[in-house]
A and B are shown apart, each in its own frame.
Chain A
Amino acid sequence: DVKVTQSSRYLVKRTGEKVFLECVQDMDHENMFWYRQDPGLGLRLIYFSYDVKMKEKGDIPEGYSVSREKKERFSLILESASTNQTSMYLCASSLGPMGSYEQYFGPGTRLTVT
């Protein structure tokens, strides 16, 4: 079974702090994604990566950056956390064109910025 893990389930940070959210997948997937989930808004794509060191902006990249130095790990960085970044963050991975395009999700990190 594919396993996607995220470094924290719950995180509380102060405004202005630099925040790192980490995601690791164990199935050699090519594609990895970071979403933000807010009530009434569904899931919105922040960034995605289809290869090591490659990244593409999603729908809401402002205030975020990402890093993918190894195939299995995809990090989301909040350079200077703000209260409007309080949200649930979901990481996902997928195999790519040789697979079924199904995305496998991690358990999520609920981030609170005070």
Chain B
Amino acid sequence: AQTVTQSQPEMSVQEAETVTLSCTYDTSENNYYLFWYKQPPSRQMILVIRQEAYKQQNATENRFSVNFQKAAKSFSLKISDSQLGDTAMYFCAFMKPGAGSYQLTFGKGTKLSVIP
């Protein structure tokens, strides 16, 4: 079974600074997907960024980027120019695609607070 570990239960960052959230996972699979989801306070969970394991290039979405280290099984999220709206719970998730099996395995989350 796959496991996902987020070692930082809580983090804080000053507005406009850069912060990195860590995520490691354990799998014997070679083909899989990794995701970062964001859950703002009392709001809906949304996808931040996605990485396919077969792609060597790190995914980027505006101020969000990942550092995907496949051999180390590490998938960290970097948020640049942090904004107050980035305050949220962030969840790292793993998925191995397969017939009839598309479930995500989530980490326990990191609570990020952006300080004005």
Residues of A within 8 A of B (CB): 31, 33, 40-45, 48, 50, 54, 56, 58, 90, 92, 94, 96-97, 100-108
Contact = CB atoms under 8 A, between A and B. Distances in A.
Given A43-B91, A90-B45, A101 B97 contact: yes
B44 A48 contact: no
B107 A106 contact: no
The 7 closest A-B pairs by CB, nearest first: A42-B108, A105-B45, A43-B106, A42-B106, A50-B100, A31-B102, A107-B44
B103 A45 contact: yes
Nearest to B102: A31
Q: Is the interface of B mostly helix, strand, loop or mixed?
A: loop
Nearest to B9: A40
Interface of B: 9, 33, 35, 37, 43-47, 50, 91, 95, 97, 100-104, 106-109
Contacts of B101: 50, 56
A50 B102 contact: yes
Contacts of B91: 42-43
Contact of A102 (B35, B44, B107, B109): B35
A41 B6 CA distance: 11
9 contacts: A42-B91, A45-B103, A48-B102, A48-B103, A50-B100, A50-B101, A101-B50, A101-B95, A102-B50
B6 to A, nearest CB: 8
Contacts of B35: 102
A96 B33 CA distance: 13
Nearest to B92: A42
Contacts of B43: 107
Nearest to B100: A50
B102 A94 contact: yes
Given A101-B33, A102-B35, A107-B44, A40 B104 contact: no
A94 B35 CA distance: 14
A102 B108 contact: no
Contacts of A104: 47
